[in-house]
Amino acid sequence: MDSVNQNQTPSLIMTGIGKSFPGVRALNGVDFKLRRGEIHALMGENGAGKSTLVKVLTGVYPLDEGTIELDGTPVSIRSTQDAQRLGISTVYQEVNLCGNLTVAENLFLGREPRSLGLIDWKAMNRKAAELLQELNIIAEPTVQLDSYSIAVQQMIAIARAVNTDCKFLILDEPTSSLDTDEVKKLFTLMRQLKEKGVGIIFITHFLEQVYEICDRITVLRNGELVGEYEVEKLPRLELVTKMMGKELENLSDLSSSKDQLHTDEEPLLEARELSSGTSKIAPFDLKIHKGEVVGFAGLLGSGRSELVRALYGADKAVQGQLFVKGKSVKIKKPLDAIKKGMAYLPEDRKVDGIFADLSVRENIIIALQAKHGLKRMTRREMEKYADEYIKLLNIKTASMETPIKSLSGGNQQKVILARWLLTHPEFMILDEPTRGIDVGTKTEIQKLILKLAAEGMSVAFISAEIDEMLRTCSRIVVMRDRRKVGELTQSEMNQSTIMRTIAGEGGQ
Amino acid sequence: MKDDRKTTLPGQGLWIKRKGLSNTGILLLITITLFVLLYAMSLILFKDSNFAKFSVFFNLFNNKAYLLMLALGLTVVIITGSIDISVGGVTGLVSMVIATMLMDGRTNAWWTIPVSVAIGLAFGIVQGYLIAYLEIQPFIVTLSGMFFARGMICVINASSVPITDEQFMSWSSAKLYIPFLYNERRNGTRDVAYLTPAAIVAIVILIILIITLKKTKFGRSLYAIGGNPQSALLMGINVRRTRFLAHVLCGLLAGVGGFLYTLFAPSGNPGNGYGYEIDAISSSVIGGAMLTGGIGLPIGTLFGVLINALIERVVPLLGIVDASWPRIITSAFLFAFVVLQSVFSNAGMKGGFKLLLPGWMKGKVKMELKETVKS
Amino acid sequence: MNLHISKDKSLEPARKPFLKKLLSSRLTFSLVILLIVVVQNIITTPTFFRITITNGLISGYIPDILDEASLLVIVSLGMTLVIAATGGVDISVGSIMAIAASFCGLMLNGPEYRTDVYHSPYFLALLVGLLGGALCGAFNGFLVAGLKLQPMIATLILFTAGRSIAKQITHGQTIYIMNPTFKYLGVQIPGVPVRTTIIVSFVMILIVVLFTKLTSLGLYVQSVGINGASSRLVGLNARVIKFMVFVISGVLAGAAGLVGSSSLGSVNSGELGLNLEMDAILAVALGGNLLSGGKFSIAGTVIGAYTIQAITTTLYAMNVRADQLNVFKALIIIVIIVANSDVFKERIRKLTGKVVRKNVSVGG
């Protein structure tokens, strides 16, 4: 951490940035400052406004309020070309280069050196070699890009960005697909750019990496600025609490008051070294007992959804072992899980949950129907069930035949909940079940979960709100940076411990 | 230390890399080798059929000049990851229009040139707009284009129209002799190789295309949007416009191809051009273009066309009279090459063999910038 | 991207007034078009409503249309399911008709190309024909569900090669089945005044409706078509369902082939069901079904099929040739697809939005 830069005045100053979309205030009076030669992390949870801020800076969205100053001069950024011209470059999470073209071509696409109006390949290759050497990237200009690993491709993408006279570089989740060695190489390159005076915005979910390479951190929450901090002076725990919106002093020791659990019994579900092929979580072990409500805490991107999906077989190619009631099972697809008594309420109901054009009734009965194969449930049965659950969950709909797309988000969520409750599962996975739901309904659902658990249902519960989990869960699994880092039992469960575990024991 | 030259990207496989020889290079090498092999075999097997004569070799160019145009147009479009199956219909339409125009001496033969080009352009522009700007799947757009063209042929004239126009026929039978390439016939006269105007036009256009694809910004954009349209967009390329222009170019070349075809077979028949789109696609793919996009070379397409011509010449000599067989054999080669390309792309990957298919076959030609920065 | 929603809008749509509901129903759209065509026909054909009994058969303008449309109706039923489940089209139906008819013809005529003696039991031959259709459907289904090919491309194979295959089955020739009972299926069963084609088409409609409504298949087809990801998560096997709709489409096309060849008394692989796939797609689209898949309506498709037939008959009466007709149909398909494309809808919205916005004053 170079202390020389700490006293510099910022070159890029964004003040009072406001941006609205229909019905949503995405950014509200956000300030952001970046210095030359500084590596600055931009962090925040769901809906924080990180991506919107970056898009305003790179000209994808025009800002509604606020000013942007570069080296003391106010600038107007209304298009991606404007941003480019001002020296602001972005490298995205998915390497945005063309694998079928050579390294040199990728470096210069759109600005190839020319002679007599036509592209001069010799000059291009030569310049490419110089650029790569300067940045210590081991790659040959004439080789096809996709012969190289993603890590190298990413560095080439950075080289391209840097080559355009760039003063500020935005790296959006660059380390998501890299292993430890590759991350080291990336950081070496970043430090090199730092030496050259490039200001870097580093967007990431990985706490450890932030502490390894960044000078400053800006935290956003719900579209507003929480604060800007120097990394050296901000302990991990504080960072986590600021991101999740709790003040350290105010963290109550609100613990849960559940009955003692039958943890000595054989678990209903046991996972050993389980992971799925597509998601990048570390293989995990987990035990879930009958009647338990297990919460999953962690920052956004820590891998909680991936973990529960692995239990359900929602993503392809599950590796490791899974035991249900002591017997080893192979769950390759959701139907297998459903047959073993599992249910899954997905995080994104629009994409994974609802059948938009089908009626509320059809949406409710579909999972139970799928269990029966081609044998159709009678109309009367369907109406009986639909009616039952519309009343039970207080679903507001004109009739059970209304297409579900006309319902509000909260009511849609209730329909999907009804869908799974109807199958009377032994184990239910709820991924953010109360997101976007009004307070009254939230409490209803939490009470419902407790009731079901008392009746013997096991629940896996993911929520961004720790209070909610404390109220309903008897155990909390903590995840950080895509791996399971801890489990808290009843007695250990309170807000500050949870935060501490997320942050990583040891404060700084 | 990890060898950074090997990739384990999902779906990418392991391309064997040598200094200076890329995937494209390997494919081209295979194509040229295939052609040389086939020609050598023909030389040996059919001693009496004069394959050793220069004139016979050059006639491969002369007879298939039109196909080279169609195939080059397809190559351009295939490189962008799209497809155009209307070129056969356009060819037929152009020849019928020319024949009708020249009936009874109504029009001066010189007018047929701009008209052919205009017809091709019209198809290219309309189809290009629907595909690039309205994002409708290229297969269905160009399939409709083909139906439309074939329908229009019958609307103009449901029966054959021979061409008798003197001017046009003089172009058709013109020959440019190459004095130093000749063979002695048994009766002492010389059999001199020649090129038709069509072949010359085709070669000139080939050279222009080679330069365009290698050395102009437009040419490189074609490869970029074929390789990764999302990235190309972020790198500042106007993906829609490039794709639009690719289809316009293909239409233009189809119009020219139609004109050259009519020079070769001067008559307007309702069945003209039937199946030529398949020949054009085979020539491109055998020439090294990958249907998945981003890879292909015009010079390879030339060899693809030559192989096509050679097969057509050789099959009757094997005693197979049915006229549909040469196309069946070429299609078999097409399939073999698609499999071969998939093999190369999959080599070194665990999980066995996966047939690589282009986006338009699976239903996606996406050009919009997706949400890449998550909040 | 999940933006923080500041308000939880709980809106429930008020009970729609009946008239509004009727107007916005997709079925109404197709009924209106049919109505327009029928009215136009009534005006130009004075004998429109006249029904006579000729040679023991009910004839007249309306019965003729019902008869001519029967093949289209049968094939369109299968097409509806394919489009609903996959959002793609089956263009091989015409060829499958030829293949099924060829199998049947081969069984009946044996090695001869013109005979009135059956070489195999009649019903067995029919069954073999239907199986042939099922087999073709299975082939298509494998390509789409197994290899994940786009339906139009997968069915393109049979579209191009199918008729040649069918021809080879009947030794490369058109065969003539002279036995009078062969025509029962496609023309008339003696003593029954209604043409058999009409009866068969109605029976097929009934079978498909019962099959999709009495089993859960109809619901599954819609679910898979609306949201493949959600279908998987609720335990449905999308691949199996897609495979099944192609087999069903194949069987229905096979049935149409049997009826078609029966009405002619011969199996002509080059002509049977030619260009019927385009008409079927149009019928489904005109029936108010989205070409992108999801919810479907058999009633809509049937209405659409009769509408297309009425339009075709009208145009033929105006001396339009078959190949010229193809041009029109190709254009109509393009128009429908363009109108359904997301980008186009976006542009229209912006255009109409701009007009509205001009009237609103710009606030602070």
What's the CA gap between A428 and B115, in Å, rounded?
A: 69
In angstroms, the separation between the Cα of residue C148 and the nearest Cα of chain B is: 7
In angstroms, the separation between the Cα of residue B94 and the nearest Cα of chain C is: 17
Q: Is a pLDDT exceeding 60 seen at residue B348?
A: no
Per-residue confidence (pLDDT) for residue B6, from 0 to 100: 40
Q: A186 and A144 share a domain?
A: yes
Instruction: Specify whether the CB–CB gap between A43 and A100 falls below 8 A.
Output: no
Task: Using the structure block, give the residue that is written with the tokens 């004998």.
Answer: C47
Burial state string for C237-265 with b = 16 or more CB within 10 A and e = fewer than 16: bbbebbbbbbbbbbbbbbbbbbbbbbbbe
pLDDT in tens, B59-94: 888 999 999 999 999 999 999 999 999 999 999 999
Per-residue CA distances from B90 to B97, B102, B148, C270, C321 (Å):
10, 18, 9, 24, 21
Task: Using the structure block, give the residue that is written with the tokens 């129209």.
Answer: B161
The pair of structure tokens assigned to C74 is 């049968």
Instruction: Specify whether the CB–CB gap between A52 and A19 falls below 8 A.
Output: yes
Q: Is a pLDDT exceeding 60 seen at residue B336?
A: yes
Instruction: Specify whether the CB–CB gap between B280 and B70 falls below 8 A.
Output: yes
What's the CA gap between A265 and A474, in Å, rounded?
A: 16
- What value does the mean pLDDT take over residues C87-104? 93
Which of the residue ranges A396-405, B155-164, B231-240, C248-257 has the most confident prediction, judged by mean pLDDT?
C248-257
Per-residue confidence (pLDDT) for residue A3, from 0 to 100: 47
Instruction: Specify whether the CB–CB gap between A404 and A415 falls below 8 A.
Output: yes
Give the percent of chain C with pLDDT over 70: 88
Q: Domain ends where: A195, A218, A248?
A: A248
Q: Domain ends where: A424, A448, A472?
A: A424
User: Does residue A75 sit within a domain?
Assistant: yes
Per-residue confidence (pLDDT) for residue A502, from 0 to 100: 87
What's the CA gap between C112 and C167, in Å, rounded?
A: 14
Per-residue confidence (pLDDT) for residue C18, from 0 to 100: 58
Q: A419 and A451 share a domain?
A: no
Q: How sure is the predictor about B182, in pLDDT bands with cuts at 50, 70 and 90?
A: confident
User: Does residue B12 sit within a domain?
Assistant: no
Q: Please return the burial class of A392, using the count of CB atoms within 10 Å of its CB with bins 0-12, 13-18 and 19+.
A: middle
Instruction: Specify whether the CB–CB gap between C121 and C133 falls below 8 A.
Output: no
- 3-state class (DSSP) for residue A38: coil
pLDDT in tens, A420-463: 999 999 999 999 988 877 777 777 788 888 888 888 899 999 99
In angstroms, the separation between the Cα of residue A195 and the nearest Cα of chain B is: 26
Q: Is a pLDDT exceeding 90 seen at residue B51?
A: no
Q: How sure is the predictor about C5, in pLDDT bands with cuts at 50, 70 and 90?
A: very low
Question: Contact partners of B by the rule of 3+ C-beta pairs under 8 A?
Answer: A, C
Residue C326 at interface with chain B, using a CB cutoff of 8 Å: yes
Q: How sure is the predictor about C10, in pLDDT bands with cuts at 50, 70 and 90?
A: very low
Q: Specify the DSSP element, H or E, that contains A337.
A: helix A334-339
Residues of chain C found within 8 Å of residue B362, distances taken between Cβ atoms: 148-150
Residue-level pLDDT, tens digit, chain A, 508 residues: 444 445 578 889 999 999 988 777 889 999 999 999 999 999 987 667 888 898 889 888 888 999 999 988 999 988 877 888 888 988 887 778 998 999 999 999 988 888 888 999 999 999 999 999 988 888 889 888 988 888 889 889 999 988 877 889 999 888 877 878 888 889 999 999 999 889 999 998 888 899 999 999 999 988 899 999 999 888 888 888 888 776 655 554 444 445 555 556 778 888 888 887 766 788 889 999 888 899 999 888 888 988 899 889 888 767 888 888 888 888 888 988 999 999 999 988 888 889 998 999 999 999 999 988 888 989 999 999 999 999 888 888 888 998 998 887 778 888 999 999 999 999 999 999 888 777 777 777 888 888 888 888 999 999 988 888 888 888 999 998 888 898 988 888 888 888 888 888 644 3
Instruction: Specify whether the CB–CB gap between C91 and C329 falls below 8 A.
Output: no
Per-residue confidence (pLDDT) for residue A259, from 0 to 100: 53
Q: Which of C1, C330, C341 sits opposite B136 (nearest CB)?
A: C341
What's the CA gap between C204 and C208, in Å, rounded?
A: 6
Question: Contact partners of A by the rule of 3+ C-beta pairs under 8 A?
Answer: B, C
pLDDT in tens, C130-188: 999 999 999 999 999 988 888 887 888 888 888 888 888 888 788 888 888 888 888 87
Q: A369 and A335 share a domain?
A: no
Q: How far is CA A173 from the centre of its chain?
A: 10
The pair of structure tokens assigned to B332 is 């078999």
Amino acid at residue number B2: K
User: Does residue A346 sit within a domain?
Assistant: no
The pair of structure tokens assigned to C182 is 């062969």
Give the mean pLDDT of chain C. Answer: 82
pLDDT in tens, C17-48: 555 555 556 677 677 778 887 887 777 777 77
Task: Using the structure block, give the residue that is written with the tokens 């081991």.
Answer: A138
Contacts of A88 (CB under 8 A, 6+ apart): A57, A58, A77, A166, A167, A168, A170
Q: Which of A24, A351, A358 sits opposite C6 (nearest CB)?
A: A24
Q: Is a pLDDT exceeding 50 seen at residue B3?
A: no
| pTM (predicted TM-score) | 0.78
Q: A416 and A434 share a domain?
A: no
User: Does residue B237 sit within a domain?
Assistant: yes
Instruction: Specify whether the CB–CB gap between A42 and A50 falls below 8 A.
Output: yes
Residues of chain A found within 8 Å of residue B372, distances taken between Cβ atoms: 92-94, 96, 172
Amino acid at residue number C335: V
Q: Is a pLDDT exceeding 90 seen at residue B273?
A: no
Q: Which has the higher per-residue pLDDT, A470 or B216?
A: B216
Q: Write the CATH number for B271.
A: 1.10.3470
Nearest to B38 by CA among B277, B296, B288, B304: B304
Report the DSSP pairing between strands A483-488 and A327-329: unpaired
Per-residue confidence (pLDDT) for residue C318, from 0 to 100: 74
Nearest CA in chain C to A335: C235
The pair of structure tokens assigned to A66 is 């606020």
For chain A positions 469-488, those within 8 Å of chain B (CB to CB) are none
Structural domain range at position A419: 354-424
Count chain B–chain C contacts defined by CB atoms under 8 A.
Answer: 64
How many structural domains comprise chain A?
A: 3
Contacts of A7 (CB under 8 A, 6+ apart): none
Residue C1 at interface with chain B, using a CB cutoff of 8 Å: yes
User: Does residue A13 sit within a domain?
Assistant: yes
- What value does the mean pLDDT take over residues B236-253? 94
Nearest CA in chain C to B361: C150
Q: How far is CA A487 from the centre of its chain?
A: 21
Q: Write the CATH number for A235.
A: 3.40.50.300
* Cα angle C135-B323-C136, degrees, rounded to a multiple of 5: 5
Q: A293 and A419 share a domain?
A: no
Contacts 24+ apart (CB under 8 A), A503-508: A503/A207, A503/A235, A503/A236, A503/A237, A503/A239, A503/A240, A504/A207, A504/A208, A504/A236, A504/A480, A506/A236, A507/A235, A507/A236, A507/A237, A508/A235, A508/A236
Q: Please return the burial class of B200, using the count of CB atoms within 10 Å of its CB with bins 0-12, 13-18 and 19+.
A: middle
Q: A84 and A192 share a domain?
A: yes
Q: Calculate the CA dihedral of residues A256, A258, A262, A267 and round it to 10 degrees.
A: -60
User: Does residue B374 sit within a domain?
Assistant: no
Q: Is a pLDDT exceeding 90 seen at residue C208?
A: yes
Structural domain range at position B67: 23-362
Residue A389 at interface with chain C, using a CB cutoff of 8 Å: no
Contacts 24+ apart (CB under 8 A), A133-142: A135/A159, A135/A162, A135/A189, A135/A192, A136/A188, A136/A189, A136/A192, A137/A189, A138/B4, A139/A103, A139/B4, A140/A103, A141/A102, A141/A103, A141/A104, A141/A107, A142/A102, A142/A103, A142/A104, A142/B20
Q: Output the DSSP codes for C285-345.
A: HHTT--TT-S---HHHHHHHHHHHHHHHHHHHHTT--HHHHHHHHHHHHHHHHHHHSHHHH
In angstroms, the separation between the Cα of residue A436 and the nearest Cα of chain C is: 7
Per-residue confidence (pLDDT) for residue B20, from 0 to 100: 40
What's the CA gap between B157 and C324, in Å, rounded?
A: 11
Instruction: Specify whether the CB–CB gap between B213 and B206 falls below 8 A.
Output: no
Under an 8 Å CB criterion, which residues of B touch C? 130, 133-136, 139-141, 144, 147-148, 150-152, 154-155, 158, 355, 357, 360-363, 371, 374-375
Per-residue confidence (pLDDT) for residue C21, from 0 to 100: 53
Contact between A398 and C15 using a beta-carbon 8 Å cutoff? yes
User: Does residue A257 sit within a domain?
Assistant: no
Residue A22 at interface with chain C, using a CB cutoff of 8 Å: no
User: Does residue A347 sit within a domain?
Assistant: no
Residues of chain A found within 8 Å of residue B293, distances taken between Cβ atoms: 100
Q: Domain ends where: A248, A278, A307?
A: A248
Per-residue confidence (pLDDT) for residue C242, from 0 to 100: 96
Instruction: Specify whether the CB–CB gap between B90 and B116 falls below 8 A.
Output: no
What's the CA gap between A132 and A257, in Å, rounded?
A: 60
Q: How sure is the predictor about B164, in pLDDT bands with cuts at 50, 70 and 90?
A: confident
User: Does residue A260 sit within a domain?
Assistant: no
User: Does residue A235 sit within a domain?
Assistant: yes
What's the CA gap between B15 and B7, in Å, rounded?
A: 8
Per-residue confidence (pLDDT) for residue B1, from 0 to 100: 32
Walk across the sheet containing A318-324 and list its strands.
Answer: A284-288, A269-276, A318-324, A327-329
Q: Which has the higher per-residue pLDDT, A21 or C340?
A: A21
Q: Specify the DSSP element, H or E, that contains A485.
A: strand A483-488
Residue B12 at interface with chain A, using a CB cutoff of 8 Å: yes
Q: Is a pLDDT exceeding 60 seen at residue B240?
A: yes
Q: A74 and A173 share a domain?
A: yes
Q: Which residues pair with A486 in a beta bridge?
A: A478
φ, ψ of residue A297 in degrees (nearest 5): -110, 150
pLDDT in tens, B104-114: 778 888 999 99
Q: Which has the higher per-residue pLDDT, C256 or A206?
A: C256
Instruction: Specify whether the CB–CB gap between C120 and C107 falls below 8 A.
Output: yes
Q: A302 and A410 share a domain?
A: no
How many structural domains comprise chain B?
A: 1
Q: Is a pLDDT exceeding 90 seen at residue C209?
A: yes
What's the CA gap between B241 and C33, in Å, rounded?
A: 38
Q: A447 and A507 share a domain?
A: yes
The pair of structure tokens assigned to B102 is 């020249």
CA atoms within 13 A on the CB side of C128: 16
Nearest CA in chain B to C320: B155
User: Does residue B18 sit within a domain?
Assistant: no
pLDDT in tens, A479-505: 988 888 989 888 888 888 888 888 886
